[in-house]
Amino acid sequence: MVNVDESFPSDYVQVGEDVQDGDFLIFVDGGRTETNEKWGKLQLIFKVKTPKGDEKLCNVNKTSMKSLKEAWGADTSGWQGKKVLVSVVRQNVGGELKDVMYFTEAKDEAATAAPAAATATAPAPAPAKEAAPAKEAEKKA
């Protein structure tokens, strides 16, 4: 028997097959634009490295593009080598419910864990010494 997925693998990242919600992708190139034949709209396409280590193509939707532009700037050549966090949402696309990927900047896990670790291990400040009561100070004077 022939497995169609194995015999004809997609060149594009597929939700469920190549990536899941919460996974990370790495941009391998600076991306390119091309017109989508089905919708007739310009799309932004990157070569990415999947969690399995495969290199595949990936469309970046406008919502993700805006988020990544805020993080890394408008020139996508600077996005090469950057890691993104994948969020998968099921939504209506052209009258069909489909799993849609959204990308946000992947925060460096070591950097985000460091402040928490530093505060957890920092010694507590010494308690302030209480001032002598005013009445005792007056008696001595």
pLDDT level of residue 38 (50, 70, 90 thresholds) = confident
Judge whether 124 lies within some domain: no
Judge whether 62 lies within some domain: yes
Q: Nearest-CA neighbor of 83 among 118, 109, 59? A: 109
Judge whether 29 lies within some domain: yes
41-78 pLDDT, tens per residue? 999 999 999 999 999 999 999 999 999 999 999 999 99
Q: Which domain holds residue 91?
A: 4-105
Q: Using alpha carbons, list the distances in angstroms from residue 63 to 17, 57, 59, 75, 84.
A: 23, 18, 12, 16, 14
Judge whether 89 lies within some domain: yes
**pTM to 2 decimals?**
0.71
* Total domains, the chain: 1
Judge whether 53 lies within some domain: yes
Judge whether 70 lies within some domain: yes
Strands 83-93 and 96-105: antiparallel
Q: Nearest-CA neighbor of 60 among 96, 86, 92, 94? A: 86
Lowest mean pLDDT among 18-27, 44-53, 58-67, 130-139: 130-139
Question: For residue 126, how far is the Cα from the chain centroid?
Answer: 40
Judge whether 121 lies within some domain: no
